[in-house]
Structure 1
Amino acid sequence: MKFSLFSVVVLLMIACGTAKSDGNPEETIAQGKEVVCFVYHRFGDDRFASTNVSIDHFKAHLQYLKDHNYQVLTFAEAIQYLKGDGPAQKTAVITIDDGYKSFFENGLPVLREYGFPASLYINTETVGGSDYMTWAQIKQTKDAGIEIGNHTHSHAYFLNQPASSRYKNFEAELQKSQDLIKEQLGEAPVTFAYPYGELDAKMKAIVSEYFEAAAAQNSGVIGASTDLMRCPRFPMSEYYSDPKKFAEKARMHVPEVTVDQKSFMLPAGQETPSLKVTFHNDDLQLDQLQCFVQGGDCAISRDGNKVSVKSETSIANRRRTLYTLTVPDKSGNWYWYSHLWINPEVN
């Protein structure tokens, strides 16, 4: 059933249909095209600094995109742009997770002011809850040009569930949310965002059966070397949303890389895992490469275009830890790549 539903949605929503990602993004994304994607949660809600952005900062973000002639698309539109044969142009995507009321009350009016679209990912179980948008508000949001995406039903920590039931539960929640959103809004989503940015290989495979693309929460830029089933997004909150920091991230590029780690899962018994990255861009100044590890320092070793990085202290006591690499090219442009380690043993 899910394949026939998916086919109907694609025919309704995408005039020029494309095949879903097969895990080999090099065959689907046009070389030279990039999309910088940002993720927000709350707007003008000072109770939750870790997930909130001030309205002044949000306006500054959108003003920067306007002033610098960015094409602002929904996530679904951006995937079609990446796959299409049109010319490359500066492209940005605004995504919002969870469907908090503060987006409807404070964030959506700003988007309307600038005439920009966005993509809203809702966990359908909480719709109408005390701090969440109602279905009527979500319908108004959709009518305002905002894409509505799937964020599962319960927004659970699926990696905490035993493997014997995890994948059945995960797929059941995807289907339940698809059905509820279609029932309420007339269309089922074609894109997805992982709760907490957490996934494993089997979860990603299930997502690929339902959606054109999926958003994770490791930072970075979407491009030719990106797996469309775990697209990176830059987080925007009061810790990261200073307009200067936003502008720096909006100007970032995606390096052409291959990595030795296909999984986000922290390898068993490894408290300071190594990440080996091979860079394929000819003009990168790898002698100026910088590495950042959340909560600690990073050790770097390099052999030509092959780089190995690792935390100098244990990351085993953190549930999610980012390794982030930045490097300039000879023209002064900066490139960003990050890898997320997840340790489900930490609650």
Structure 2
Amino acid sequence: MPNRPFETDPNARDYQPIVTLPPEWLPCDGCGLALPIPEQVGPPRELTSYERVLPPDAPPLVGRPRPRPFFTTMSRCTDCSARSEQAAALVKQYPRAIATSEFSFHGSHAVEQLERVLAGLAIIEQAPTIKNARAMHLLMETMLPATSAILWSSRFAPVALRDAKSKTGTARPWAHLRADDATRMRQAYATWLRRRTEVPRPHPHPDGSGCYICGIGEYVAETTGAAWQPVRLNPGVLGGQWGAPVVEAHVCADCRAVHADIGAWGPTLLDKLVLQAAGVQPLADAHDLQPNGVQAWGTTGRKRPNPTPFEHVNLAQLADDVRSGAFL
């Protein structure tokens, strides 16, 4: 590391992990490293932060002052810039794998999330080779929760930490992190190493019935948690009786993945899934078709699970209708 006007040896008596920046220096928005002008990569960017003005136990909405904004300018170091390019290349290679069990990420958002994961791997000195989409998806699933707040910029946006101050940076890369941050990342990485070698196998529905949406009774995955997710659903928007109480049910990973793209458990999700099951999704998309009267399996009153998704729907007739133009 080039000479700095502050101590960079963590074993030195006067070492401080977070330092005040000299004039014209900027922090890296990733690792936090204080950067002189020659080491700043790309144009600076300004973050708007809001001060955390009340203690966590303050009564809500009673005499609460408005959060005060302040602005912090950041740049990027060479290593973090290269990591961003690596993330962009991986997103292009595995566009559908940049996801967790609850969320799918796309475009620049996918790059940003993957950057955090790659940064976490660099911090714990790991550089695994990603050979397929499954390995990438598992890496996101296991590492993202442990790396979601590790970036220097995470200290400032949208609400700043109490000790986050503009015109500061770190004496060494990632010096703002605590020892337990690295511990969590090592544990997450160990989980990924274990899960990527697990052989997928059929996992039956947790209570022996079927996915509330498509009705299948078992799902092939590494673990039960990867196959089934508990959710709260409104039967009235899924083909059931209006006014029926909210139910707690399990859905399979395929239905959950479509929900991550659409964002709601409702008729749009049912239409997309049933057209996929009928094998006519591309044709339907071409004409923006919306089948009517599709029911989620859980609203039909059936007890026996479906051997294949949406077998309780006449998929053959639906496919014929789409191909013949009956919806047009």
TM-score tier after normalising by the smaller chain length: under 0.3
TM-score of the superposition, structure 1-length normalised?
0.21
The structure having more radius of gyration, on CA atoms, is: 2
TM-score of the superposition, structure 2-length normalised?
0.22
Tell me which protein shows more strand as a share of its residues.
Answer: 1
